[in-house]
Structure formats: C-alpha cells, structure tokens
Chains A and B, each alone.
Chain A
Amino acid sequence: AQSVAQPEDQVNVAEGNPLTVKCTYSVSGNPYLFWYVQYPNRGLQFLLKYITGDNLVKGSYGFEAEFNKSQTSFHLKKPSALVSDSALYFCAVRFPNDYKLSFGAGTTVTVRA
C-alpha cells in the first residue's frame, strides 16, 4: 500500500526567511508526487507535481519541490516566505497505474510578519 508522511504538523517561519515543508513517501516504483495548498474555508489548490525528469520542480506562487528518490522525499520549498503563504499544505502520491491520490495529514504553515 502506498502512503505519504508529513512529519511536521506545524511550521513557523518569519517573513522573508526560507520555507521548507517536508514530505516522505513509502512506496516502491515510480510514483507521481503532488503538493496542494488549502486556505481557510477554501478547497485545495494544486501547486506542483513531479512525474519524471528534472528532480527540481517549479510551481505556483514561487514554490518549488525537490524529488529525492534515494531518500523517498519530496520537500516543498520557497526561498522567501510571505505572510500570505500561511495555509495548510498537503503532499499527495499516486502510481501511474492507480488513479487514487493518497494525501498526507497536512502541515500548517504560519509565516509571521
């Protein structure tokens, strides 16, 4: 069974500092990996995905994520965080031949001014 873990329930950073949200997965093969963001009282918004190719993936709002196969990780990063980045972030994984997305429990990011 595939699973994805977000080891940190909360991440707190100061505005302008780098932001990292961690995600690891425990599946074999070549999974597809995703990051979504959820703002209060709103649905999930797609940020970026890794399918194949370059391990560094760039997405919306200045976010990027690095796929590391040896460490089975897909950490989300932003070089300089904004207060408006405060939200709930979800990592998700799926296999190419399985159309189901499995989500992590989420990480709450708080960026203080």
Chain B
Amino acid sequence: EAGVAQSPRYKIIEKRQSVAFWCNPISGHATLYWYQQILGQGPKLLIQFQNNGVVDDSQLPKDRFSAERLKGVDSTLKIQPAKLEDSAVYLCASSLVRGGVGFEQYFGPGTRLTVT
C-alpha cells in the first residue's frame, strides 16, 4: 500500500512570496489533515477535510493560508504572502475515517519550508 505522498520535499522562498504544497493521501482515506511543525514543537493541526469538505480550519491563518481538496482526493495548501515565521515543516496526513476504528493518521514525509 502506497503511503501519503507530498511534494515538494524542500522549498526556499523569500518573504512576501507565495508557495504551494501538494498532498496525495492513501487511497480510500476520506479524511485529510494539514499540520504545521515548527522546529522544537509538536505538529499543530491547520486544517482537516472530510472528503472535499472542511470540517476544522480553526487554526488556519486565513489571511494568508488557504487549502482545498477538490474531488476529495489530492489537496493543496497555499501560503500567500509568506512570512518569516512560516518557516516550518508542513505535514499532510490521512485517515480512513474521522472516528471509530481506523482513525489512525498516517503521515507523509513533509515539506520543509524556509522563508528568508
């Protein structure tokens, strides 16, 4: 079974530029998550999708971050414009369901973003 795929793996941009990350979840997983992991901290949930609908984006800085999951499969996370404090690893995860049996989250390798 293929795991969660993410690209790019690394990205360096200047502040005020825009950037986009792509995620392809495990086949059949209805729930998709984007996390931000700042160095020295645990991952923090940015947004959660159930199929192609948003179920939790309470911690997403909506003035600069946006995400979509068209057709309920792949997802894209965008930052525009980027700030220095956005430097982090952006992790995508997926799970079979939101709750009950099968809700373990499986993580991709992450995209390391450096904003200079």
Give chain A's interface residues, CB within 8 Å of chain B: 34, 36, 41-46, 49, 90, 92, 96-97, 99-101, 103-106
Please pick, from B6, B99, B104, B107, the residue contacting A99 in the complex, using a CB distance under 8 A. B99
The answer to whether A90 and B108 touch across the interface, beta carbons within 8 angstroms, is no
The answer to whether A100 and B48 touch across the interface, beta carbons within 8 angstroms, is yes
The 4 A-B pairs of least Cβ separation, nearest first, read A103-B42, A43-B107, A44-B107, A99-B98
Q: Is B72 interfacial (CB-CB < 8 Å)?
A: no
**Chain A residues whose CB sits within 8 angstroms of the CB of B98 once the complex forms:** 99
Q: Is B110 interfacial (CB-CB < 8 Å)?
A: yes
The answer to whether A99 and B56 touch across the interface, beta carbons within 8 angstroms, is yes
Instruction: Tell me, rounded to whole Å, the shortest Cβ–Cβ distance linking B11 to chain A.
Output: 14
Q: Is B80 interfacial (CB-CB < 8 Å)?
A: no
Nearest A residue to B40, CB-CB: A105
Within 8 A of A (CB), among B57-92: 91
CA distance A106 to B44 in the complex (A): 12
The answer to whether A46 and B104 touch across the interface, beta carbons within 8 angstroms, is yes
CA distance A40 to B106 in the complex (A): 17
Please pick, from A41, A97, A103, A105, the residue contacting B109 in the complex, using a CB distance under 8 A. A41
A101-B107 contact in complex given A43-B4, A44-B43, A90-B42, C-beta closer than 8 Å: no
The answer to whether A43 and B110 touch across the interface, beta carbons within 8 angstroms, is yes
Nearest A residue to B58, CB-CB: A100
A105-B104 contact in complex given A41-B109, A99-B99, C-beta closer than 8 Å: no
Instruction: Tell me, rounded to whole Å, the shortest Cβ–Cβ distance linking A89 to chain B.
Output: 10
CA distance A34 to B45 in the complex (A): 16
The answer to whether B48 and A105 touch across the interface, beta carbons within 8 angstroms, is no
CA distance A36 to B110 in the complex (A): 15
The answer to whether A100 and B45 touch across the interface, beta carbons within 8 angstroms, is yes
Q: Is B52 interfacial (CB-CB < 8 Å)?
A: no
The answer to whether B42 and A96 touch across the interface, beta carbons within 8 angstroms, is no
Please pick, from A46, A49, A101, the residue contacting B106 in the complex, using a CB distance under 8 A. A46
CA distance A100 to B59 in the complex (A): 11
The answer to whether B105 and A46 touch across the interface, beta carbons within 8 angstroms, is yes
